Amino acid sequence: MSERQKTLQSHNLRIPDAEDSIAATSTATRLNVRTATVSKILNFSCVDGPGNRLVIFLQGCNYQCKSCHNPQTIDMCNHCGDCVETCPTNALTLISSKVIWDASLCSHCDNCLAVCPKQSSPKTQQYTVAEMLDVIRNNLFFISGITVTGGEATLQLGFIKGLFSAIKSSSDLQHLTCMIDSNGSLRTTSWAKLLPFTDGVMIDLKAWQEETHLWLTGRQHHRVFQSIELLVQHNKLYEVRLLHIPGKTDFDAEVDELASYLTQLPKDTRIKLNAFQHHGVTSEALTWETCQESDITHLANQLTERDVTNIVVPSVYL
Ligand code: SF4
Ligand code: SF4
């Protein structure tokens, strides 16, 4: 048995029970005041989990992926003011050492993102849990669930816990499924705090070999495998995402080990193959070849031949 197959063996964490639900209800009010730094809210998505979903993009990430297609979500704004002068519509003003964004004046030209030295944005906004619940209620008729993503969503763990516990304890919202899109770097002890309120998790496995992952993201990936293992134990792993960058990531070169690992996961886990594209990328990755449909088909066929099932491929290559 390989090291990675061994990661599917159990951690000794307590299964959430009825007491967790009671505790969730009693703490929901307190958690309503938690705030998050939000980079974007998408009122409707059908590709970020099952059904129709409202997607909350949280600002900040602990990876530095060369392939990041959203690099302005990586860091928090330090209000240096460098972006203010670049705004053609006066949507940005520096008041009392803080950059203020007026959404009503913004033309979304993204000049401010291009000049920011911090991989940040002046357009992030603070939301309390109560304010986010209002946003959700305004869209309630159209959605079947909520997905939090990023950046790396779990860096704002307290907000997610507050939001999800409030949803699960609200009679008009508790039918919504609560899902997290994550790079898998969260410690298992922290996942355990979220799982009682979380219906499913999508995890990015960005490379198979440690050295490839380190080169691509700046971080080791042992916690990704620990996260997957924990989520499997709690029946909360919805999807594993593999970003295929031909000649850069190593999924095709390591397909035997990769397939052996994936076949150990529950059969209903979606194995989603994502194709690297240049959209949004600002690093050296702009010089890399993009991933074509033929590359994805080849990888999917290799995995299928090795008994991996439930493979999901992109519907478009842009
Ligand atoms: S968004 Fe970037 S450039 Fe603008 S104030 Fe914040 S850190 Fe400075
Ligand atoms: S995206 Fe909006 S805030 Fe940023 S420079 Fe353009 S108009 Fe100004």
Give distance in angstroms: CA of 125 to centre of ligand 1: 13
First to last CA, the chain: 39
Ligand 2, residue 92: give the atom nearest the CA: 3
202 vs 231: CA distance, rounded Å: 10
Q: Give strand pairing partners of 149.
A: 57
Ligand 1, residue 80: give the atom nearest the CA: 8
Which tokens belong to 74? Answer: 């990586």
- Nearest residue CA, atom 5 of ligand 2? 87
The pTM for the full model equals: 0.88
CB atoms within 10 A of CB 6: 11
Name the nearest CA neighbour of 66 among 259, 252, 241, 219: 219
Question: Using a 6 Å cutoff on CB, does residue 110 contact ligand 2?
Answer: yes
Condensed to tens digits (0 to 9), the pLDDT of residues 218-241 reads 999 999 999 999 999 999 999 999
Condensed to tens digits (0 to 9), the pLDDT of residues 281-295 reads 988 999 999 999 999
Ligand 2, residue 123: give the atom nearest the CA: 3
9 vs 11: CA distance, rounded Å: 7
Question: Using a 6 Å cutoff on CB, does residue 172 contact ligand 2?
Answer: no
Pocket, ligand 1, Cβ cutoff 6 A: 77-83, 99, 112, 116, 118, 120-122
Give the list of residues 6+ apart from residue 95 with CB closer than 8 angstroms, or none: none
Give the list of residues 6+ apart from residue 106 with CB closer than 8 angstroms, or none: 89, 91, 123
| Sole residue written with tokens 């919202």 | 173
Name the nearest CA neighbour of 41 among 116, 128, 135: 135
The reply to whether omega before 49 is within 30° of 0 (cis) is no
Contact 230, 14 (CB under 8 A): no
Condensed to tens digits (0 to 9), the pLDDT of residues 29-45 reads 555 668 999 999 999 99
Name the nearest CA neighbour of 64 among 202, 208, 220: 220
**Given a cut of 60, is residue 22 above it in pLDDT?**
no
Portions of the chain given CATH number 3.30.70.20: 77-115
More confident residue, 316 or 301: 301
What architecture (CATH level 2) is domain 77-115?
Answer: 2-Layer Sandwich (3.30)
Ligand 2, residue 108: give the atom nearest the CA: 1
The pLDDT, as a whole number, for residue 15 is 32
Backbone angles phi and psi of 194, in degrees to 5:
-90, -30
Portions of the chain given CATH number 3.20.20.70: 3-72+124-312
Question: Using a 6 Å cutoff on CB, does residue 277 contact ligand 2?
Answer: no
Ligand 2, residue 109: give the atom nearest the CA: 6
Question: Residue 183 — left, alpha, or beta (φ > 0 → left; ψ -120 to 50 → alpha)?
Answer: alpha
Question: Residue 122 — left, alpha, or beta (φ > 0 → left; ψ -120 to 50 → alpha)?
Answer: alpha
Contact 308, 271 (CB under 8 A): yes
Give distance in angstroms: CA of 96 to centre of ligand 2: 20
Give distance in angstroms: CA of 59 to centre of ligand 2: 17
Question: Using a 6 Å cutoff on CB, does residue 90 contact ligand 2?
Answer: no
211 vs 159: CA distance, rounded Å: 33
Which CATH entry fits the domain spanning 3-72+124-312: 3.40.50.620, 3.20.20.70, 3.90.650.10, 3.90.226.10?
A: 3.20.20.70
Which tokens belong to 16? Answer: 């959430």
85 vs 93: CA distance, rounded Å: 9
The pLDDT, as a whole number, for residue 100 is 95
Condensed to tens digits (0 to 9), the pLDDT of residues 135-167 reads 999 999 999 999 999 999 999 999 999 999 999
Which ligand does the CA of 71 lie closest to?
Answer: 1
34 vs 157: CA distance, rounded Å: 10
Give distance in angstroms: CA of 56 to centre of ligand 1: 21
- Nearest residue CA, atom 4 of ligand 1? 83
Mean pLDDT throughout 58-84?
A: 95
